[in-house]
Structure 1
Amino acid sequence: MSQARSRPSRRAPLGSRPDARAVAAETLEAVLHRRHPFEAALASHPDHGVLEPRDRAFAYALVAKTLRRLGEIEALVRLVLHRPLPERDRQVMTLLRLGVAQLLFLGTPAHAAVDTTVNLARRWRLGRHLALINAVLRRIHRDGPALTAGFDAPRLNTPDWLWHAWEAAYGPVACRRIAETHLEEPPLDLSAKGDPSVVAAAVGGMVLPTGSVRLHHHGAVPETEGFAAGVWWVQDVAAALPVRLLGDVRGRQVIDLCAAPGGKTAQLAAAGARVIAVDRSAARMALVRDNLSRLHLSVETVVAEAEAWRPATLADAVLVDVPCSATGTIRRHPDVARIKQPADVAALAPVQARLLAAAASMVRPGGIVVYSACSLQPEEGRALVAAQRGQLPNLVPDPISPAEIPGLPEAVTGDGTFRTLPCFLADHGGMDGFYACRLRRTEQPTGDCEGGPLAS
């Protein structure tokens, strides 16, 4: 078996200026070869914190664009190379990926993209490949647009297992629209603590039909108007909708299981609920508390395994937003398409089932459980809930009405469950893919969460 080269030093040479492209290259290696989440890998790079803000933004944009267009980039490199690179030369491929992304998708001047990539290869001690890297990138600069003219970008940039799963679940037209949406940079969505129109006016955004505020152009989040004052928090429009399925929560006790990063917890608290937020991670719960403090919201927080923890008294409602493959968030997190595999979906199913059972045990008779997942995979949504219904006879479906999701009637399926696709709200920049099912606790088992073709 061929051996990969040893990893180059992660630090800039002593006395030199940290380089954004080097940080980007190391981050891309961590994502593609060690399956590290993109944003965590970038933030933990030892040189990331000392980059200038503009360079940090460039490093982020370079890795994000490379991941978003990875299939096209690799197909183009294969066209230009006379023979595939062996695994031991994977660092060469890493640099070629970043160079192509700059040339074709970021608009970097050719001399800058080529020269900096060659210089980085020299720093990585890839001397025998300098001529190859230079020649490949110059050929792609010259002929790239012609070579890619016949590429099917949505298909090339979607891993086979995801394409086939989405085509089976949603049909070929919706599958292609999902993949097309993933090629575009997503806008930033905010949930307002008060009047969303006031927030939209302050930040230069627009109010979406569902009430979220959307910014198509923005700077650093902490520097955006209203952040320090705690009048909004970042939350994708789709992620803000499952809480609505609980109805009017004012004065009611609501348990938020798997609460981090805390967007739904903030929604519940802002709506007047008495919230108990539960999460297994002390570090993530600390971030939840910090965000709630900024928002001037108060909830009870518990660090515990949600499967084992139980409240002192049964709640009026439980929201369980389960850990999942997160394939519904690829438009915002393009690394998900590269670090997740079918085995990850299968491995999470028992955890999701146990969490749903735990939620059912925490709610009073007549109370509501909302199960949600930011996944496009049926195994984590409709199929999971349908399979568990037989094990939880005291939970019955409580169908959702389109009137509960104003401005987005297509999110309510024929069987009264909730399903968003990334291509929804396409004219405004899309949204995450989410599944949710509302269930009510009763002593008489009946009903099901199965039904319409999009209820996954």
Structure 2
Amino acid sequence: MAKPGLFAREAAVRLLHAVLLERRLLIDIVNGEDSLLIDLEPSERARAQSLAMTTLRNLGPIDFVLQKYLTKQTPFALLNILRVSAAEMLVDGIAAHAAVDSAVTMAKRRHKTAHLKDLANAVLRKVASEGMDIFEGLEPQELPKAFRSQMAKIVTKEEMTSIERSHQAGAPVDLSFKDIKKANAFIENSNGIMMPNGSVRLKRAGQITEMNGFLDGDWWVQDLAASIPAKCFGDLSGKKVLDLCAAPGGKTMQLASMGATVTALDISSKRLERVKQNLERTKLKANCIAADALKWKPVERFDAILLDAPCSASGTIRRHPDLPFAKENFDLGELLKLQRALLLKASNWLVPGGILIYSTCSIFSAEGEGQVQWLAKQNNDLIPQKIDPKLIGLSDYMANKDGQIRLRPDFFADLGGMDGFFVAKFTNNK
């Protein structure tokens, strides 16, 4: 009979291997048909994912501690076992005997590591007795050089470390509500707190589908920062609005709940099905269209367009710690080309006086400020509009000098932070 938690730990080791060696994203692994978690119970799946993510968030510091006790190059298969067990002890506070015993068992169960079980035992016992003193004095996990070089264009060295510390802390769960009264009632009867922008942040994570209001469609999961672009429109009652690149649907539901007549466009019919499911649950309406925005032609122009463009997702690392490892050698050039093509398309679909919101969940200036500068040279009819952060529940320092919203993971750090985001607003002067 397997020891309690063993299957989840072994799955976490497999997830690490897939991310670090095969450069696969966790979301693709978990949702794929070849999922490494497919045979696990729901609780074991959740634990495996959580443990893998904790290990990735702290990989640099964990490796630093382990290397103190490893004298030779360690086989990758054993190293990942050691990493997971060290994460349990140093971050999760799991009892040393349980973590060490499980690691030795995992090593024995694998042909490539069976002969190294005694090494695993010795190293992890050292980590248990001495590792915490070392670990607590270390700087947070550093981003890869490619990420740091992009971020260095708009943040200082101290701000970079602050962002990396936010990545290490992870991300709480935020909810967006259709009705502020329902939000207040939820807070009174649960573990949520009201954030300055109106999002409800959960103090403790739990099974989302079992929470008050889920089945009634009162709310949907949406990071605080992700809710900001739609808020920048102002009043949308009765307006025709296009949500470009709509999946998974958080912004679509926001726009619909604001009284807009929404067209939700996405290139992926599979992802659009999730949008439809979310709309059905929340009893909101939108016209969902699966199409390539670069080839699609609207029947009529729109009063407002939200272009939340495909991007590096560099602002979401606190929720997706696998991203820097799986996408270390990303092709930013291709993303920039796509964003520009979408911007040009969207700019031609607005009515006179219509509003365009351009946003990315990126902390790279090339995908934010750089694209605004490029667009200004291509289209003189789009007039940049300054956004007042205070009107959308943000602080003055969350807007740059040009009145664009520039959010960082370490903003509202005392409340749990937020995703990195960029938001710019334009009006059509045709």
Global fold match (TM > 0.5)? yes
Aligned partner letter, 2:82: L
TM-score (norm 1): 0.88
CA offsets, 1:131-155, max 9 Å, x none? 2222221221122123335422x2x
Output the TM-score relative to the length of structure 2. 0.93
Looking at structure 2, the residues matched to 166 and 178 of structure 1 have their Cα atoms a distance apart, in angstroms, of 10
Partner of 1:449: none
Corresponding residue number in structure 2 for 1:295: 282
The alignment partner of 1:99 has SS state of helix
1:440 corresponds to 2:427: yes
Q: Does 1:250 align with 2:245?
A: no
Residue 36 of structure 1 corresponds to 24
CA distance in 2, matches of 1:288, 1:273: 16
Matches within 5 A, 1:5-404: 19-44=7-32, 46=35, 48-85=37-74, 89-125=75-111, 126-152=113-139, 154=140, 156-195=141-180, 196-341=183-328, 343-404=330-391
Hey, what's the Cα distance between the residues in 2 that align with 1:401 and 1:46? 45
| Distance in structure 2 (CA, Å) of the matches to 1:94 and 1:358 | 46
1:146-189 CA-partner distances (Å, limit 9, x unpaired): 3335422x2x4432333343333121232222111111132110
SS in 1 for 2:348: helix
Q: Is the 8 A contact 1:331 1:432 kept in 2?
A: yes
CA contact (8 A) 1:276 1:302 kept: yes
CA distance in structure 1 between the aligned counterparts of 2:10 and 2:376, rounded to whole angstroms: 51
Q: Structure 2 counterpart of 1:181, which letter?
A: S
Between the aligned partners of 1:383 and 1:352, the Cα distance in structure 2 is 11
The Cα of 1:342 is off from its aligned counterpart by 5.2
Give the match's secondary structure for 1:331.
coil
Q: C-alpha separation between the residues in 1 aligned to 2:57 and 2:412?
A: 20
Structure 2 vs 1, CA of residues 116 and 269 (structure 1 numbering), >3 Å: closer, same or farther? same
- Cα displacement string for residues 350-381 of structure 1 (whole angstroms, at most 9, x for unaligned residues): 11111111111111221111110000111111
Rounded Cα–Cα distance in structure 1 between residues aligned with 2:410 and 2:134: 28
CA displacement at 1:388 relative to structure 2: 2.8
Give the Cα–Cα distance (whole angstroms) in 2 for the partners of residues 146 and 220 of structure 1.
Answer: 34
Could you say what secondary structure the match of 2:426 adopts?
strand
Give unpaired runs (5+ residues) of structure 2.
Answer: none
CA RMSD of aligned residues (A): 2.1
Q: Secondary structure at the match of 2:225?
A: coil
User: Which secondary structure does the structure 2 equivalent of 1:34 belong to?
Assistant: coil
Code of the aligned partner of 1:93: L
Deviates more, 1:401-410 or 1:229-238: 401-410
Instruction: Give the secondary structure class of the aligned counterpart of 1:337.
Output: helix
Cα distance in 1 for partners of 2:89, 2:362 equals 33
Q: Which runs of 5+ in 1 are unaligned?
A: 1-11, 444-456
Offset from partner CA, 1:322-344 (integer Å, 9 cap, x none): 11111111111111222223533
After TM superposition, the structure 1 stretch with the greater mean CA deviation from structure 2, 277-286 or 355-364, is 355-364
Determine if contact 2:108/2:115 at 8 Å carries over to the other structure.
Answer: no
Aligned partners of 1:191 and 1:233 also within 8 Å: yes
- Residue identity matched to 2:289: V
SS at match of 1:112: helix
Partner AA of 1:122 in structure 2: K
Amino acid corresponding to residue 63 of structure 2 in structure 1: E
Question: Residue 343 of structure 1 aligns to a residue in which SS?
Answer: coil
* 1:290 Cα offset (Å): 0.2
1:452 equivalent in structure 2: none
- Which range moves more in the overlay, 159-168 or 274-283? 159-168
Identity %: 37
3-state SS of paired residue (2:212)? coil
